[in-house]
Homo-oligomer: A and B are copies of this chain.
Amino acid sequence: MEGESEPNLLSNGPNGMWPAPVVPCPTNPMVTPLLTDLYQFTMSYAYWKAGKHQERAVFDLYFRRNPFGGEYTVFAGLEECIRFIANFKISEDEISFLKETLPASCEDGFFEYLRGIDCSDVQVYAISEGYVVFPKVPLLRVEGPVAVVQLLETPFVNLVNYASLVTTNAARHRFVAGKSKLLLEFGLRRAQGPDGGIGASRYCYMGGFDATSNVAAGKLFGIPLRGTHSHAFVSSFMSPDEIVDKSLCSLDGSTTCEDFVALAQSWLNKIQRSKSLSNVFGETNQSELAAFTSYALAFPNNFLALVDTYEVMRSGIPNFCAVALALHELGYKATGIRLDSGDLAYLSCEARKFFCNVEKEFGVAGFGKMTITASNDLNEETLDALNKQGHEVDAFGIGTYLVTCYAQAALGCVFKLVEINNQPRIKLSEDVSKVSIPCKKRSYRLYGKEGYPLVDIMTGENEPSPKVGERLLCRHPFNESKRAYVVPQQVEELLKCYWPGNSGKQREELPSLKEIRNRCIRQLEQMRPDHMRKLNPTPYKVSVSGKLYEFIHFLWLNEAPVGELQ
């Protein structure tokens, strides 16, 4: 589906210099130039008032620490940033609001200036969306007039922070669950607001999930949709008597079963009479049987039942099997069950055993392979624990912990000035991890002999790029004793031109969500396993060139006031 509605997000205009305005607006129409912090406007005014507003500034957007105790992050949110700047224009209504809001002393000329600005002289270089990324390395390098780029800080950080966090969370869940399991994102109801839900569905798919329950996200992004029924559906039935239209045509259309309710009941009786099956239960719940029967009548080809409304082994499973066997008699194949409470490892194994016994007892080939979905407050830890205990779950529906990133609800992306008017700038801090890396920079990923990425290195913009086969010194940006020589087998420049402004540069296409998802999966597979493991992963190295190292420390000494010990 994606790709059809948006075949080509950007295309060059007639002169090939400036993209024609065909980039769609941000997915959420609430993303406007006012979706920013007030201080961006007060600073913009102060730049303007000082006559500095046109000074060319370079800002880096990066994060300082990987989330979830891990050693990697997946970058996401780029397309929304590009959509935002491609359509950046402050409306008259917004100008009026700003006029009311800023101090009355602000001069009219500034609002005139705001009226005229757009992002045509802004350039955005970025790592491609879906890439595995690391602390301190710029995800976006944004260059343009300081008073304009300043306004972009908050929306850019907002659009990247949660997107990258939840994509990373999804990738981590996939890592623990393994490739063979189906992963379903069920988080909409618990997400932080409507757009938290829609974003979560999009970015969890990007990070390796297979489908979502969120219909709006399915429509917007072409993500496969999944879902069956809830406890409410089961408890809305009183007894099989209330089912009026009981007939069901067989799959091949050759016969019609006039009383499917009776057919399901007769199968339940057979199960109850079977020695290998009956020892776990007495009477099953009749409203549950009614609900399952009714659901099967509605979806004979897609019968998947939630079996824990009353009791899984004493009611849900036998009722499900009765209806599934009735469907089978008419040529249909039931899909499976969902477990939403209790001991999922134990119950999934018991359910599997029961299905296998049904297969044997009634000679129904494949019944033992019925899909078992589990969905009760799952997260990385419970998936890991299930794996260790042993389980028979085929698909996991994951909600709350996934979409709210419960284990760590925010990624600390920042947006720091690194150069203005060709003058490199540094932001100092008593906390070394908060010192910014100055200069307009390039960054590269260097690959080793075995094909794994070895190290990311940042250099000044005009330094020669690392060469394959040539030895190169990589230095830790802030620890002088940490350095290593690397002979790269492959060199990949990380920052690509995603928004050329009026620079005339070629711009990177924005790929479809599915393409980004595939890229992300490839990226994750390509990493050396010890960086990816859950327990005590090895940090991936992030470095600077020798020249940049020297410059950082020169600037640092230059800017820091000298203390006086007393």
A residues engaging B (CB < 8 A)? 26-32, 34-43, 45-47, 49-52, 55, 57, 59, 94, 97-98, 101, 103, 105-106, 146, 150, 153-155, 157-159, 161-163, 166, 186, 188-199, 213-216, 218-219, 225-233, 235-236, 238, 242-245, 279, 281-285, 287, 294-295, 297-302, 308-311, 314-315, 341-342, 400, 404-406, 408-413, 415-417, 420, 423, 425-431, 434, 559-564, 566
Contact = CB atoms under 8 A, between A and B. Distances in A.
Number of copies: 2
13 contacts: A28-B195, A37-B189, A39-B227, A39-B228, A45-B298, A46-B299, A101-B215, A192-B196, A235-B417, A235-B425, A282-B561, A283-B561, A309-B428
Contacts of A153: 189, 230, 232
Given A150-B232, A214-B35, A196 B193 contact: yes
A215 B37 contact: yes
Contacts of A562: 282-283
A214 B299 contact: no
Given A38-B226, A101-B225, A341-B430, 4 more contacts: A43-B229, A46-B299, A150-B233, A282-B562
A236 B51 CA distance: 13
A233 B283 CA distance: 73
B45 A404 contact: no
A236 B420 CA distance: 6
Given A50-B245, A229-B43, A38 B191 contact: no
A86 B298 CA distance: 30
A236 B52 contact: yes
Given A301-B105, A315-B561, A50 B244 contact: yes
A183 B413 CA distance: 23
Contact of A409 (B59, B226, B297, B409): B409
A408 to B, nearest CB: 8
Given A159-B194, A199-B192, A404-B410, A341 B37 contact: no
Contact of A341 (B228, B404, B434): B434
Contact of A410 (B29, B309, B400, B417): B400
B39 A229 contact: yes
Contacts of A417: 231-232, 235-236
A228 B42 contact: yes
Given A341-B434, A409-B409, A192 B191 contact: yes
B193 A192 contact: yes
Contacts of A413: 189-190
Given A192-B196, A310-B560, A213 B47 contact: no
A211 to B, nearest CB: 9
A372 to B, nearest CB: 17
A430 B410 CA distance: 34
A280 to B, nearest CB: 8
A285 B561 contact: yes
A298 B47 CA distance: 9
A287 B32 CA distance: 32
A85 to B, nearest CB: 15
B30 A311 contact: no
Contact of A215 (B38, B227, B230, B423): B38
A314 B561 contact: yes
A148 to B, nearest CB: 13
Nearest to A281: B561
Contact of A195 (B30, B34, B94, B310): B30
A279 B566 contact: yes
Contact of A30 (B37, B194, B295, B342): B194
The 8 nearest A-B residue pairs measured at CB: A195-B195, A38-B227, A39-B227, A404-B409, A46-B298, A192-B192, A157-B189, A232-B417
Contacts of A52: 236, 242, 294
Contact of A42 (B162, B188, B229, B285): B229
| From A30, A59, A279, residue with most partner B Cβ within 10 Å | A30
| From A163, A215, A310, A430, residue with most partner B Cβ within 10 Å | A215
Contact of A50 (B191, B215, B243): B243
Contacts of A197: 35, 158
A393 to B, nearest CB: 18
Given A225-B101, A282-B564, A310-B560, A59 B232 contact: yes
Contacts of A342: 430
B105 A186 contact: no
Contacts of A157: 189-190
A196 B196 contact: yes
A72 B555 CA distance: 51
| From A55, A193, A236, residue with most partner B Cβ within 10 Å | A193
Contacts of A227: 37-42
B158 A189 contact: yes
A7 to B, nearest CB: 19
B190 A412 contact: yes
Given A38-B227, A46-B299, A404-B409, A216 B32 contact: yes
